[in-house]
Every structure is written in structure tokens, then in C-alpha cells.
Amino acid sequence: RYLGIPLLASRLSHMDCKVLVNKLLRRTTSWLSNSLSFGGRLQLLKSVLFSIQVFWCCTFVLPVAVTKECDRILISFLWHGVGNSKKGGKVAWSKVFRPREEGGLGIKDARSWNRAAIMKIGWDICWRKGSVLMKWCYAVMLKNKHFWAAPITGACSWSWRNM
């Protein structure tokens, strides 16, 4: 483990992400959310819970089941004040995840955020060739070819193939 994230060379399993799910649940149960207003819970969700999730999204391609579970915890905390409530929400998730300008709450779903964060890594590989990590990627993974022209072989890691 490094900075709270497991160090793996293989595909990230649901069990590997239990740390993320448990961290979100611990945070939601530790707050006295019954005394928080809806706006207070929304602000905590956006500033604290979402940042924990984003930290993982910027590092790994998360399994779909994990992103759905993270979304369920966030929405449950927003509507009911606890992260593990089995009750339904008051509004459909698709409406909650819309931008504020479209009538939503401005919350981003974990799956879309994970895709965007992984695309940012691809962008960095394409355009930031000066860093040590990017030089290593070009020499070892891309074999001095362009990112889009590089062959995807069976020797590549699961994360690299999904990027």
C-alpha cells in the first residue's frame, strides 16, 4: 500500500477496492448527519467524499461494480444522511448527476469521472514528454512510437490496455 492505495500490477478487483468503499462508509457514519441540512450534506459530499473517490479514479481503472457502489453511498448519504441506507432516493440518479445548469445538483458519477481521469493520463503521455515517468512510458511501453500507434500486446498490463 502506498498513500492508502494498493500497489498492484494486475487488474483491480472488487475486493481490492473494499478499502475505498469502507473509507467512504466510515466517513459518512462518523458525521452527525442528522443535524446537517440537505445543503450541508451536499457540500460535504462534494468536498470530502468526492475527493476521496477522485483520488482513486485518477490512479486506477475502477471496476464498474465499485463505481456503482461509490455512487450508491454518495446518493444515500445525500438523501438519508447515512451511506448504507437501503431506501430509495427522492429523485432519479440520472437527474442528480446532471450539471446545475441542467437542473441537477452538479455531482459527477464515478464511472464518468474515472473515464475522464484515465483519459487525462493518456493526454499526459501524449503531450508531457519531459517528465521521467513519461520518458519511461515512451521507452518501455510505447517503444518510442506515438501513443495512438503503439501496439497493445498481451504483455501490457490491464490498466494500460484499458487506457
Q: Same structural domain for residues 86 and 156?
A: no
**Positive/negative CA dihedral, 131, 128, 2, 157:** negative
Q: Which of 64-68, 123-127, 143-147, 157-161 has the lowest mean pLDDT?
A: 157-161
Supply the pLDDT for residue 148. Answer: 65
Q: How far is CA 5 from the centre of its chain?
A: 12
How many domains does the chain divide into?
2
pLDDT tens digits for range 52-72: 988 888 888 888 999 999 988
Query: Which residues make Cβ contacts (< 8 Å) with residue 100, sequence separation at least 6?
Result: 106
Residue 89 lies in a domain: yes
For 137, the domain range is 128-162
- Is residue 100 domain-shared with residue 61, that is, in the same domain? yes
What pLDDT does 68 receive? 92
Distance CA 85, CA 62 (A): 23
Q: Average of pLDDT values for 72-94?
A: 80
Q: In terms of domains, do 87 and 145 share one? A: no
pLDDT tens digits along 121-137? 777 777 766 777 777 77
